[in-house]
């Protein structure tokens, strides 16, 4: 259980980050830095509904571990406070459309003039330039334009959006975090700050690098559900059990495939199509599906747990924290009554931690005192 502290002892302790309140990937990046010990000061709107941080004014675990100051960025006095925060910060995180920060007087030019070592992290969907830069968008559109969405789904079916994990958080926030930390290293070595332009469409495209490489060598076909890793192979797919719950199968290598067949009771079946015969993959998939449908997910997990068959139960979000492996590793924690993923990755000397969720303006007085403004 968290004690409510917002400043951690992780490897980023001492890194001062200012985050402009927003939604999705930019707050998630700030959360990652806060989990690892950075002092993340979030500038919230003074009129945030309900007096709470997060989407639609609700508490959000993406804001855990941060401190909050409430400002009206149309008020000259509050703009002065914002400038004072940027002048002593190592990193700024903002997720507005291009031009918004400039209109507020908080753009990169004045910020870097006042603080030459500042790392100015910008999170957008389309990027700071290009024909779509000024337009609205959401994860699904960015992932679609990157080409990644077109590769996800079953043959002859519509592409399946992978929630907003691939774009917002994978292609967006994670690349912003990597870019910001790389720029911090450069700044500390040279004293030179810079702008980090992290676009979700860019980062998501980078995540598909391996697929482009396989496509170029002829080891991947540009169709959904026709390849080894996209459910094309019957030994890399999800199967329904007797209780309408699911198992994930990833027995790619021959020795793991052999264990899969043993668990399914098919190891000595002479009628089973060989795994190398792609033309008979539909028949092999049908045989697997028939067998998996004979038992419940729990019963199959008893069969495969502890083996190298590469079979795993497909847990729901509420089931995952109860899994024995997740419990043993502490993959999930409870903070302020909310069960949520713990900080990652793990550090041997400077462990990170999930902090408390601040209310809007909770740390106003302390933050103003730090920058010398009453």
Give CA–CA dist 59/271, Å, rounded: 57
Give CA–CA dist 199/125, Å, rounded: 5
| Active-site residue, from 75, 138, 219, 277 | 138
Residue 138 annotated to the active site = yes
Number of Cα atoms under 13 Å in the Cβ half of residue 72 = 6
Give CA–CA dist 247/301, Å, rounded: 8
Give me the sheet containing 16-20, strands edge to edge.
Answer: 67-71, 39-45, 16-20, 91-94, 119-124, 194-199
Residue 168 annotated to the active site = yes
Closest CA to 291 of 316, 313, 272: 272
| Active-site residue, from 168, 202, 230, 237 | 168
Q: Give the distance, in angstroms, between the CA of residue 221 and the centroid of all CA atoms in the same chain.
A: 27
Bond into 200 cis (ω within 30): no
Query: What are the DSSP calls for 312-342, one per residue?
Result: EE---TTTGGG-HHHHHHT-EEEETTEEEEP
**Residues forming beta bridges with residue 250, ordered by sequence position:** 236
- Strand ranges in the chain using DSSP code E only, listed in sequence order: 16-20, 39-45, 67-71, 91-94, 119-124, 194-199, 236-240, 246-250, 311-313, 332-335, 338-341
Closest CA to 153 of 235, 224, 56: 224
Backbone phi, psi, residue 333, to 5°: -135, 165
Residues in the chain: 374
Neighbouring residues of 242: CB distance < 8 A, sequence distance ≥ 6: 293, 294, 295, 296, 299
**Number of Cβ atoms within 10 Å of the Cβ of 3:** 8
**Residues forming beta bridges with residue 45, ordered by sequence position:** 71
With the C-alpha atoms ordered 151, 153, 159, 164, is the resulting torsion angle positive or negative?
negative
Residues with catalytic roles: 138, 168
């Amino acid at each position: 259980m968290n004690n409510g502290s917002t400043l951690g002892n992780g490897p980023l302790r001492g890194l001062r980050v200012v985050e402009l309140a927003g939604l999705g990937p930019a707050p998630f990046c700030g959360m990652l830095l806060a989990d690892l010990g950075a002092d993340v000061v979030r500038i919230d709107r003074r009129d945030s509904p309900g007096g709470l941080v997060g989407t639609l004014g609700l508490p959000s675990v993406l804001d855990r571990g941060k401190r909050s100051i409430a400002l009206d960025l149309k008020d000259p006095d509050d703009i002065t406070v914002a400038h004072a925060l940027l002048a002593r910060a190592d990193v700024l995180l903002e997720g507005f459309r291009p031009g918004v920060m400039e209109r507020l007087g908080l753009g990169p030019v004045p910020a870097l003039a006042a603080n030459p070592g500042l790392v100015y992290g910008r999170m957008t969907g389309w990027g700071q330039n290009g024909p779509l830069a000024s337009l609205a968008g959401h994860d699904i559109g960015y992932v679609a334009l990157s080409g990644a969405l077109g590769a996800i789904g079953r043959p002859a079916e519509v592409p399946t959006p992978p929630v907003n994990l691939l774009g917002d958080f994978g292609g967006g926030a994670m690349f912003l975090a990597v870019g910001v930390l790389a720029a911090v290293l450069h700044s500390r070595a040279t004293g030179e700050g810079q702008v980090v332009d992290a676009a979700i469409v860019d980062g998501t495209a980078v995540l598909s690098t391996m697929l482009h490489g396989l496509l170029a060598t002829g080891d991947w076909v540009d169709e959904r559900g026709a390849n080894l890793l996209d459910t094309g192979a019957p030994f890399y797919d999800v199967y329904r059990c007797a209780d309408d719950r699911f198992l994930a199968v990833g027995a790619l290598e021959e020795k793991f495939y052999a264990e899969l067949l043993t668990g399914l009771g098919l190891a000595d079946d002479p009628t089973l199509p060989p795994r190398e015969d792609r033309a008979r993959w539909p028949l092999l998939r049908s045989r697997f599906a028939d067998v998996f449908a004979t038992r419940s997910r729990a019963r199959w997990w008893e069969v495969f747990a502890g083996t190298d068959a590469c079979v795993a139960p497909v847990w729901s979000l509420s089931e995952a924290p109860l899994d024995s492996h997740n419990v043993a590793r502490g993959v999930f924690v409870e903070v302020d009554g909310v069960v949520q993923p713990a900080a990652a990755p793990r550090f041997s000397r400077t462990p990170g931690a999930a902090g408390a969720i601040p209310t809007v303006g909770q740390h106003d007085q302390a933050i103003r005192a730090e920058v010398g403004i009453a």
